[in-house]
Structure 1
Amino acid sequence: MNTYNESELKQFCEKVLENMGMCKDYSEVVADSLIKANLEGTDSHGISRLPIYAKRFMDKRIKVNPDVKITKKAPSVLQVDGDNGLGHIVSWKAIKEGIDTAKETGTAAIGIRNSNHFGTASYFCQMACEENLACVGFTNSPPGIAPWGGKEAFFGTNPIAFGFPTGNDQPVIIDLSTSIAARGKIILAAKQGTEIPDDWAIDENGYPTKDPAAALNGSVLPLGGAKGAALALAVEILTGVLSGAAFGPHVKNLYDDNETENANVGHFFLLLDIEKFMDLSLFFSAIQNLLKEMKEVPKKPDAREIRYPGERRKRESDGRLLTGIKLSGNVEQDLKELGDKFNIPFPETISLDNSSKSLSI
Structure 2
Amino acid sequence: MYSYTETDLKSFCRGVLEKVGMPKENAKIVSESLIKANLEGTDSHGISRLPVYIKRFMDKRINVIPNIQLDQKSDSVLIVDGDNGLGHIVSYYSIVKGIEIAKHSGVAAIAIRNSNHFGAASYFCQLACEQDLVCIGFTNSPSGIAPWGGKSAFFGTNPIAFGFPTGDNTPVIIDLSTSVVARGKIILAAKQGQQIPDGWAIDREGRPTNDPHAALEGSVLPLGGAKGSALALAVELLTGVLSGASFGPHVKNIYNEEETEKANVGHFFILMDIKKFMNLEVFYHSIQGLLKEMKTVPKVPGVNEIRYPGERRKKDELARLEEGVQLSENVVQELIKMGEELNVEFPREQILKR
Report the alpha carbon displacement of residue 6 of structure 1 after superposing the two structures with TM: 1.0
Report the alpha carbon displacement of residue 342 of structure 1 after superposing the two structures with TM: 1.7
Where do residues 89-104 of structure 1 align in structure 2 (5 Å cutoff)?
89-104=89-104
Report the alpha carbon displacement of residue 343 of structure 1 after superposing the two structures with TM: 1.3
Where do residues 160-171 of structure 1 align in structure 2 (5 Å cutoff)?
160-171=160-171
Match in the other structure for 1:342: 342
Match in the other structure for 1:48: 48
Work out whether 1:127 is the aligned partner of 2:124: no
Match in the other structure for 2:8: 8
Where do residues 83-122 of structure 1 align in structure 2 (5 Å cutoff)?
83-122=83-122
Report the alpha carbon displacement of residue 179 of structure 1 after superposing the two structures with TM: 0.2
1:138-181 residue CA offsets vs partner (Å, 9 max, x unmatched): 00000000000000000000000000000000000000000000
Work out whether 1:310 is the aligned partner of 2:310: yes
Match in the other structure for 2:353: 356
Work out whether 1:25 is the aligned partner of 2:22: no
Question: With structure 1 as the length reference, what TM-score do the two structures score?
Answer: 0.98
- Report the Cα distance in structure 1 between the residues aligned to 2:181 and 2:216, rounded to whole angstroms: 12
Where do residues 137-148 of structure 1 align in structure 2 (5 Å cutoff)?
137-148=137-148
Where do residues 254-333 of structure 1 align in structure 2 (5 Å cutoff)?
254-333=254-333
Q: Determine helix, strand or coil for the equivalent of 1:316.
A: helix
Match in the other structure for 1:233: 233
Match in the other structure for 1:221: 221
- Report the Cα distance in structure 2 between the residues aligned to 1:2 and 1:8, rounded to whole angstroms: 13
Match in the other structure for 2:252: 252
Report the alpha carbon displacement of residue 304 of structure 1 after superposing the two structures with TM: 1.3
- Report the Cα distance in structure 1 between the residues aligned to 2:345 and 2:71, rounded to whole angstroms: 41
- Report the Cα distance in structure 1 between the residues aligned to 2:227 and 2:302, rounded to whole angstroms: 28
Q: Determine helix, strand or coil for the equivalent of 1:74.
A: coil
Q: Determine helix, strand or coil for the equivalent of 1:278.
A: coil
Match in the other structure for 2:201: 201
- Report the Cα distance in structure 2 between the residues aligned to 1:274 and 1:283, rounded to whole angstroms: 8
Where do residues 62-77 of structure 1 align in structure 2 (5 Å cutoff)?
62-77=62-77
- Report the Cα distance in structure 2 between the residues aligned to 1:141 and 1:102, rounded to whole angstroms: 26
Q: In the alignment, residue 181 of structure 1 is paired with which amino acid?
A: V
- Report the Cα distance in structure 1 between the residues aligned to 2:302 and 2:144, rounded to whole angstroms: 33
- Report the Cα distance in structure 1 between the residues aligned to 2:28 and 2:158, rounded to whole angstroms: 26
- Report the Cα distance in structure 1 between the residues aligned to 2:344 and 2:265, rounded to whole angstroms: 31
- Report the Cα distance in structure 2 between the residues aligned to 1:342 and 1:143, rounded to whole angstroms: 32
Q: Determine helix, strand or coil for the equivalent of 1:35.
A: helix
Identical aligned residues as a percent: 68
- Report the Cα distance in structure 2 between the residues aligned to 1:158 and 1:212, rounded to whole angstroms: 19
Q: In the alignment, residue 273 of structure 1 is paired with which amino acid?
A: D
- Report the Cα distance in structure 2 between the residues aligned to 1:221 and 1:212, rounded to whole angstroms: 13
Report the alpha carbon displacement of residue 37 of structure 1 after superposing the two structures with TM: 0.2
- Report the Cα distance in structure 1 between the residues aligned to 2:21 and 2:194, rounded to whole angstroms: 35
Q: Determine helix, strand or coil for the equivalent of 1:78.
A: strand
Q: Determine helix, strand or coil for the equivalent of 2:266.
A: strand
Q: In the alignment, residue 348 of structure 2 is paired with which amino acid?
A: E
Q: Determine helix, strand or coil for the equivalent of 1:223.
A: coil
- Report the Cα distance in structure 2 between the residues aligned to 1:183 and 1:204, rounded to whole angstroms: 15
Q: Determine helix, strand or coil for the equivalent of 2:271.
A: strand
Report the alpha carbon displacement of residue 52 of structure 1 after superposing the two structures with TM: 0.3
Q: In the alignment, residue 162 of structure 2 is paired with which amino acid?
A: F
Q: Determine helix, strand or coil for the equivalent of 2:190.
A: helix
- Report the Cα distance in structure 1 between the residues aligned to 2:316 and 2:2, rounded to whole angstroms: 18
Q: In the alignment, residue 32 of structure 1 is paired with which amino acid?
A: E
Q: Determine helix, strand or coil for the equivalent of 2:208.
A: coil
Report the alpha carbon displacement of residue 264 of structure 1 after superposing the two structures with TM: 0.2
Alignment size in residue pairs:
354
Match in the other structure for 1:37: 37
- Report the Cα distance in structure 2 between the residues aligned to 1:343 and 1:119, rounded to whole angstroms: 25
Report the alpha carbon displacement of residue 283 of structure 1 after superposing the two structures with TM: 0.2
- Report the Cα distance in structure 2 between the residues aligned to 1:65 and 1:294, rounded to whole angstroms: 46
Match in the other structure for 2:192: 192
- Report the Cα distance in structure 2 between the residues aligned to 1:281 and 1:58, rounded to whole angstroms: 49
Question: With structure 2 as the length reference, what TM-score do the two structures score?
Answer: 0.99
Structure 1 unaligned runs (5+)? none
Report the alpha carbon displacement of residue 45 of structure 1 after superposing the two structures with TM: 0.3
1:290-309 residue CA offsets vs partner (Å, 9 max, x unmatched): 00000110000121110000
